[in-house]
A and B are shown apart, each in its own frame.
Chain A
Amino acid sequence: MRFTLALKNILKSKGRSLTTLLLSLFTTTLFIVYVAFMDGSHHQIIKSSVEIYTGYAHVNLKGYRDESDYGNLIEDASSIDEILRNDTSIKTYAPRFETYALLSGDEKSVGSMIVGIIPSKEEKLSKLASSLSKGEYLNDNDTNAIYIGIKLAERLKITIGSQIAMVGSSIDYSIAADIFTVKGIFKTGLFDFDAQSAFVNKSYLDSVILSDNKATYFTVDFQNNDHINKVTSALQAKLPSQYEAVGWDSLLSSLVQAMLVDSIFGYISISIFFLVIFFVVMIFSYVNIYTRTREIGLLRALGLTSKDIFIILFIEILLLATVAVSIGAIIGGVIAHHYELQPIVIDGIAEMYKDYGLVSDEVPMHFDLFTITWNALTIFILNLLAIVYPALKINKLTATEAMRYV
């Protein structure tokens, strides 16, 4: 009976129901889109930082994080290679060999990081190839070609075609030295990275520093990088015990914390939005209920208890909120999904955030069912809560008072 009455109330007063419906729908959509946008821009920043060079996860010898020297190398890279090749959760991966050496041009010498990479694989794993600013990127057959950061090139006062000498140490600590020709210059926008790194074909570097079948670490890109802890621990289980798989959140922990701080501010703002939305929903509920005072008075006069009235009102909002929030969530989800695939382009944002390593003007939204679900549920609960006060308030009136209410 109470249910039919509630349903009839909704259907009969279409205007009123529609307002409530639209309000909840609008707020749900707004909220979902806002969160998707916030998460999206964080993902974008992280993605940029991760994808410039670091990668989503590393596989390295335990201890390498603390002491990144020749004492902690992956000695048998092909065995790790095989494990990674057979792991279906991994999209691409590649070994790297990072070492520090002295690079010297005609006038100046600078200590720098030299990395042996497999150029074709690295093209898919990092932004190295696309950050090309002058000359050419490396290829797998290159020998003593070097690909260096733009600031490093400035510091060494060299350009494309210049020769630079590298003096470092081989992994047996004998002196490794060679002459490289600058093939390409890159610019990622990360100052330190551009000022201190140079890349050469790994197969050639291996011959110079005797690092054949050795790597400092493997960088890994999973099919799905969203739940990095889960996939890295799954990978960890497949690795021999002396190795470890480390996710980007540990590799770039200060960035993660920075995003967390930003999120906290974001959520403070969101909680203010919530507050306003809650009040607006409450006000509308209140007004809705109060315009029905006489009708409610009549129901009371006819013998319904205040509890009955409360339940009727509750069923009404429950039905309306369910419909509104579901539709809102679907619309919000569709928008988030759409803008995830076709990101919003804000011209100049990459330039602005280049120090943070943002390399794209695209700001995608982030579509995540879990986030959308909890967002929608929050608005739903907010809707239910918003009716409590008005319903209690109106139930304080006696039937006759209610009927006489103007």
Chain B
Amino acid sequence: MYKIAKHLAWLSLWRRKSRSIMVILMIALSLSGLLAIQGLYDGMITHMINTTIRSDSGEISLYTKEYRLHKSLAYKLSPVSKIEEKLSKIKEIISHSVRLQQEGLIATAHKSLGANIKGISLEKERDFGNFDTFITQGDYSFGKHKKEALIGATLAKKLHLDIGSRVVFTAQDADAEINAISFRISGIFKTGNPALDEYTVFVSMEKISTFLNLKESATQIALRIQNTEQIKQVQKKLQTMLPELEILRWDELYPLLIQMQEMMQIFNLASYMIVFIVAALGIFGVMLVSVLERLREFSIMLAIGTPYKMVRNQILLEATFLGLIGFMVGALLGWIILLYMSTWGVDLRSFEAGLETFGLNAILIADIQYYYFVQAFFAVFFATLLSVIWPLRILKKIKAIQVIQGKML
């Protein structure tokens, strides 16, 4: 009997071809659009979170408790090897990066600006977050004698620096003596994180340690954790192991990112709701009319003894087919768009300044997640169900005999 209902539903659908195609197109096009936006938004946020984790925070960062407010070398992590030894006992930590940072002044012959100098190990940063991929000009190198530096793109632009340009960095060392050191620029990086791009110069750890007159010291140790689920657990473990330190997750360091993600999710959900409530209205229109104009036919079917269940199934199936085909076409189309956008990206270079305010690159790379399609499926499914409630009620109410006698038409 289900088979007959399916057969009837399928046939009815194609009997009213234009109508069905319109509904399917409606579902498919709006769905692919929604999927595309969702992917783009998600891509945007994931990208921001990713680069932040890769370029700075890791999943977890360690500081001394006072450092983040005062940014003073008095609050340094030391000795580093002791902390590293403790870290090595936690197997969930797949890599870590030790960084030593100091605020100071960067100067050229023309201009000077406030900036941060940060000592790192290139190899470790590469392991840590592929920092080399952020280089837009020049090389990922500190030169043979570690006398070269990597500089943020915005800072380089403000100072009119090129590869090979010479800069002098002036800062107070650990003994509050003012020292100056010169570097040549070997590479320019762009992470999308304004704190790095606008204010930071990376130099070798050895060089800065000597410059600041420090040994075995760091201001931040950032950690990469294998699995997202382990982050909180590792944080707790670290807290008990190193109670004197501040141990912060990336989302605690950059709460704005999480908030943006939440906002985007709410926005996506709202978009889905608006679109599919309207879409349900469209499906409803079609289903209602298709029931109304076939009331007589349905009555006859009921009259000759067709069970109500079968008639109901037929209508449900008709709507389901519409929804399902719409979903499949839309999902396919959306997938193709997403695939394109995740491979080639969306070029928004004309709004570069605006995007940078959000800490984004001008070319947005979309994300593709399995759950988009599940979510979309449920949206379509509910819209479809919603749209047949009223037509089914009408059908339930009819007395076959009245329709046959023409009393309801």
A260-B351, A265-B41 are contacts. A254–B278 as well, Cβ < 8 Å?
A: no
Q: Which residues of A contact B30 (CB under 8 A)?
A: 272, 275-276, 279
User: Cβ of A3 < 8 Å from any Cβ of B?
Assistant: no
Q: Which residues of A contact B366 (CB under 8 A)?
A: none
User: Which of B4-12, B16-24, B145-153, B206-214 interfaces with chain A?
Assistant: B16-24
Tally of contact residues, B, Cβ under 8 A: 40
Would you call B353 and A287 a contact (CB within 8 A)?
no
Residues of chain A from 23 to 51 with CB closer than 8 A to chain B in the complex: 23, 27, 30, 34
Identify the interface centre among B37, B40, B292: most chain A CB within 10 Å of its CB: B37
Would you call B354 and A260 a contact (CB within 8 A)?
yes
A-B interface contact total, Cβ < 8 Å = 105
A261-B348, A271-B33, A275-B33 are contacts. A283–B353 as well, Cβ < 8 Å?
A: no
Q: Which residues of A contact B285 (CB under 8 A)?
A: 19, 280, 283-284, 287
- Write the nearest CB–CB distance from B133 to chain A, whole angstroms: 24
Chain B's closest residue to A355 (CB) is: B256
User: Cβ of B221 < 8 Å from any Cβ of A?
Assistant: no
Q: Which residues of A contact B358 (CB under 8 A)?
A: 258, 261
Q: Which residues of A contact B278 (CB under 8 A)?
A: 27, 273, 276-277, 280
The A interface is mostly helix, strand or loop, or mixed, namely helix
User: Cβ of A257 < 8 Å from any Cβ of B?
Assistant: yes
Chain B's closest residue to A272 (CB) is: B33
Chain A, interface residues (CB within 8 Å), range: 35 or more
Would you call A257 and B26 a contact (CB within 8 A)?
no
Q: Which residues of B contact A291 (CB under 8 A)?
A: 289, 292-293
Would you call A286 and B357 a contact (CB within 8 A)?
no
Would you call A283 and B26 a contact (CB within 8 A)?
yes
Would you call B259 and A352 a contact (CB within 8 A)?
yes
Chain B's closest residue to A157 (CB) is: B70
**Which residue from A265, A273, A276 sits with its C-beta under 8 Å from B282?**
A276
- Write the nearest CB–CB distance from A335 to chain B, whole angstroms: 16
Partner-A contacts on B (CB < 8 A)? 18-19, 22-23, 25-26, 29-30, 33-34, 37, 40-41, 69-70, 256, 259, 263, 267, 271, 274-275, 278-279, 281-282, 285-286, 289, 292-293, 348, 351-358
Q: A284-B285, A406-B293 are in contact. List 7 more A-B contacts (CB 8 A).
A: A19-B285, A257-B355, A258-B354, A258-B358, A279-B23, A280-B278, A284-B282
Partner-B contacts on A (CB < 8 A)? 19, 23, 27, 30, 34, 154-155, 253-261, 264-265, 268-269, 271-273, 275-277, 279-280, 282-284, 286-287, 290-291, 352-353, 355, 393, 406
22 contacts between A and B (CB under 8 A): A256-B354, A257-B354, A257-B355, A259-B354, A264-B348, A272-B33, A272-B34, A272-B275, A273-B275, A276-B26, A276-B30, A277-B278, A279-B22, A279-B30, A279-B279, A280-B285, A283-B22, A283-B23, A284-B285, A286-B19, A286-B22, A290-B19
